Structure 1
Amino acid sequence: MIIQAEHVFVEYGTSVVLKDIQFQVNKGDYLNIIGPNGSGKTTLIKILTNLQKPTQGKMTIAPVVFGYLPQHLNQSAKLPATVYEVLKLSNAKRPSNEAIDTLLKEMEMFDLKYHPMQRLSGGEQQRVYIIRALLSNPDVLILDEPTSALDPNFRQFFYSYIEKLNDQGMTIIHVTHDLSDGLRHGSKILELDQEVKFFGTFEQYQLLGHKKGGHHHHV
């Protein structure tokens, strides 16, 4: 067990952001967190990454290393740093040049190693942050709507790469609003709208009629 949520509430004054949330994440899970805007997804991630505490209930988190790829990355893109500097200096444990080069090659970014971050496209910057999250050798990788900036070709590559990490035992927590993205078979779904609307496997979710695109047409 890596994460256990028991009756978690988050309230701001009279408004309830998360209501009686219960779920658990085991080692090696691939959990997709879905739900409309304002459903509490971001608040839940803040609790998981220890930026916020529940107002009620209990969130138990095993002592594991989290890698986190936030949704909004543009702040540090304004720094006059190169790709290499961002990767070398951003971790407490300075990663080896070898580890950096390997990931740059895997992400097809090696030629841009000494380019300033400012000169990269949004999708390229996103790849740098993916590499940065992986350099800490995380046990759990949290991806917050990771493909919003990625071009479609790279998006395919990105998801097969994440699935490979998951096959190797890394636990993936993937926040998305697009159900067609990254829903690997055997993965789990946590559907939020203040409270848990659904928690179970992707296959169970489909059986309940949550088909991609939503509506069924009777012929």
Structure 2
Amino acid sequence: MTTYEPNMVLAEKEFSVVGTRPIRHDGADKVTGRARYSADSFPAGYLHGKILRSPHAHARIKSIDTSKALAYPGVKSVMTGADLPEVSAEVADLEEGAAVNYGFYSRNVMAREKALYVGHAIAAVAAIDPHIAEEALALIEIDYEVLTPVLTAEDALKDDAPVLHDRLLTQSSVLFRVGGWGDEGTAGSTNLALKIISQEGDVDKAFAES
């Protein structure tokens, strides 16, 4: 005959660890601010970086003047998209059906001709102190031509929609979904990166007979 044994209740047992409130060995340091983290380590020559980001969802960058920021004491470097090399915009096949267009990738890292969304990186500052870097950002002068934003995919496909990427060309290959890249000033730029029409048989006849 099986004897029923009730479940053990922790409150009825005495444990030295389980159910107790031990003092954390690092608790005092953390609550008093004495604890050191990797972000608190500053090797010799360490610089702090700050990014200036676009306040506009769609704007052409007419000019950027970084001279005042670069002359600010403690600033070591100021960079814009113009300082980055122009990478090949040929579509790169990454195998297994994946492809990228590095022309678009590089412009997402830092804006060049246009700011394409709020928060798009426009310039970067490296300085000896984070506060100096922040102050230097305010000295960068940018002349924007604010353009009409495109906020949804549906709006982007309208005939009168503003073109976001001035050099984007529509591709028709399922292997290259990222869109083509035209020369500067190329006509026919669009917001549609890929368009594929696939059909089999007589669609109209099938509907008529259904």
TM above 0.5: no
Higher relative contact order (CA 8 A, sep 6+): 1
Higher-strand-fraction structure: 1
TM-score if structure 2 supplies the norm length? 0.23
